[in-house]
Structure 1
């Protein structure tokens, strides 16, 4: 296992258990204490965890500006976005969410024919200007931190849209609370899109699993497929599969 892959899995383990002893990590990952200390030091520098005597604890993230998050786990986001774009067929009408993962879909869509993209993401709309893709931008209030537009039925008649596939982002994914987000406005827009879409895909990296944030967008039953990176543990995949949730993992090798 490569160092970066091991560190990612260590972070996932710590996030799941919240507080973990270093000796537990050595046993779980079958490596020396010296190796674990190096990995922990790197995760501390990345401000992902905090260290205390004999152990570490997970630092719960808070929502940041989209420009800051664009560069986080970029390799995973691009791979997930490419997998999402491969599901899009010529002539379809799709929804692309305002998240940093779905934003990465745009370059992989440019060769599609007679495609319509509905979006609440200003960066997505700007990227597609000048292409052959028809763009419908949701009307509503501009959310400056996310460069997104949050809509409601008063400002935009969602029922007139016929969306074949919706690609939604998530800040949290769990069996118990489903898909969740930090923003109430974003959650409301996503709920409305999900309710009118024929198929719903959630595009999110593995760090978002088994965690819940402020606002529930929808139960996992409302989602057709969750697309994520292959760092997601087999135990988590099995747990979701047992609940009837389909997960597609993207090979990062």
Structure 2
């Protein structure tokens, strides 16, 4: 069993039992104490668990998203649709003719398509869901990232995908994620392989924006793949009133709301 698979299982065990000992984990996975400790240290660094004397407990009682409990793309299609459209309407304003842009998988970034149909751009994506929504009249060039493809989550990942990503230089990348932590700035996604591809996209992009609606606040997932401060802009539909809005956060407002202010 690979380390990342053990970490998924450790989180699942903690969700079931709230506390497990190092010895129990050694026996469950038939690995050395040092291997278990490395996994626990990594999970603690991810903000998912808390190491305690002789074992570990969940840092929070809320369920952590993994590739075992993440909802499929299709099942999320109609969730928070108006908020997603609002966010993408604002984000799309920064796209210019001639840009090479990356649009991430997920139901939120797909709404950018409504605002770029007449743009002469090069569009790169791992998402067949997004490709299917492109109109026949789209004027840009399309590049679909290959590699291992997960139909449920509508994304490619793995070594072949990473190799393809590194062939590009993006003017602008629009990324999605499962959840964020406003306290520590962590940005979470449900799978380490997916997180690795998102990291690679950021390394190959001049400008990276994160697109999230308020339902992502406080949601934790298996992989911590970025920090909120790493993004040029974080487009959101709302923000917690008690907090000072970070400089790179853009709270998107509808036309009616803008007129009222």
Q: TM-score, normalised by structure 1?
A: 0.69
Q: Does 1:152 align with 2:159?
A: yes
SS at match of 1:192: helix
Residues 97-122 of structure 1, C-alpha deviations (whole Å, 9 max, x = no match)? 0011001111211011x201110111
Q: CA deviation at 1:126?
A: 2.5
Residues 205-238 of structure 1, C-alpha deviations (whole Å, 9 max, x = no match)? 01212332211111223211100103x22333x1
Aligned partners of 2:162 and 2:204: how far apart in 1? 17
Q: Does 1:184 align with 2:184?
A: no
8 Å Cα contact 1:138-1:151 kept in structure 2: no
Q: CA deviation at 1:89?
A: 0.9
Q: Does 1:107 align with 2:114?
A: yes
SS at match of 1:86: helix
8 Å Cα contact 2:187-2:225 kept in structure 1: yes
112, 116, 128: which one aligns with 2:134:
128
8 Å Cα contact 1:95-1:163 kept in structure 2: yes
Name the CA shift for 1:214/1:190 in 2 (closer, same or farther; >3 Å): same
70, 77, 86: which one aligns with 1:63:
70
Q: CA deviation at 1:188?
A: 1.2
Counterpart for residue 250 of structure 1: 252
Range with bigger deviation, 125-134 or 140-149: 125-134
For residues 197-208 of structure 1, what are the structure 2 equivalents within 5 Å?
A: 197-208=205-216
Aligned partners of 1:97 and 1:154: how far apart in 2? 13
Name the CA shift for 1:247/1:177 in 2 (closer, same or farther; >3 Å): closer
Q: Does 1:174 align with 2:181?
A: yes
Q: Does 1:165 align with 2:167?
A: no
8 Å Cα contact 2:85-2:111 kept in structure 1: yes
SS at match of 1:75: helix
Structure 1 unaligned runs (5+)? 1-57
Q: Does 1:116 align with 2:127?
A: no
SS at match of 1:156: helix
For residues 83-102 of structure 1, what are the structure 2 equivalents within 5 Å?
A: 83-102=90-109
Counterpart for residue 29 of structure 2: none
- CA RMSD for the aligned pairs? 2.1
Displaced runs of 4 or more, over 6 A: none
8 Å Cα contact 1:152-1:189 kept in structure 2: no
Counterpart for residue 18 of structure 1: none
